[in-house]
Structure 1
Amino acid sequence: MPHIVVYSPRLTREKKVSCARELTHAFERTTGISAEHLVIHFEEHSYDNVAVGGKLLTDLEPALAEREKAFREGVSP
């Protein structure tokens, strides 16, 4: 059973639906394999869980810190 893992920041449901549709289409088109049983797994992460150059992304990018804060508070950024 083919399996695609999408490791990304948190995504809205709408973005996941679109991504799953496009990945499925690309998989079928490029491999010639039916995507009937294709599994796509979204593995989302917090921007506080990623560091570049020894610094958390939320410390490097104020906009990401705001998105993370909004998510924790249940507010749409």
Structure 2
Amino acid sequence: MPHIVVYSPHLSREKKVACVAALTEAFCTTTGLAKDHLVIHLEEHSYENIAVAGKLLADTIPDIAVGEKPLQEVNE
């Protein structure tokens, strides 16, 4: 079975639904395979756990980290 892994920041449920629907449509359209054969795995990572060029994204792009804060509080 084909398997797509999506690494992303925390997403709302509505965004997850839209993301997997769009990925499924694109994959099935381009490969000709039925959607029943596709597995999509969403793996969410906080900007506190992602670094680019030796710096955490939460420090590099503080506006993004602020937007992520409410989602972290809900998950705690």
Query: What TM-score range do you get, normalising by the shorter chain?
Result: 0.7 to 0.9
Q: Where does structure 1 differ by over 3 angstroms across 4 or more consecutive aligned residues?
A: none
Single out whichever of 58-67 and 16-25 deviates more from structure 2.
58-67
- SS at the partner of 2:33? coil
CA distance in 2 between counterparts of 1:31 and 1:72 reads 37
TM-score by length of 2: 0.87
In structure 2, runs of 5+ residues without a counterpart are: none
Deviation at 1:8, TM superposition (A): 0.7
Aligned to 1:36: 36
Between structures 1 and 2, the one with greater helix share: 2
Taking only aligned residues, the RMSD between alpha carbons, in angstroms, comes to: 1.2
Q: Report sequence identity in percent.
A: 62
Number of residues paired by the alignment? 74
In structure 1, runs of 5+ residues without a counterpart are: none
Deviation at 1:38, TM superposition (A): 0.9
Single out whichever of 65-74 and 11-20 deviates more from structure 2.
65-74
CA distance in 2 between counterparts of 1:11 and 1:72 reads 11
Supply the AA of the counterpart residue of 1:7.
Y
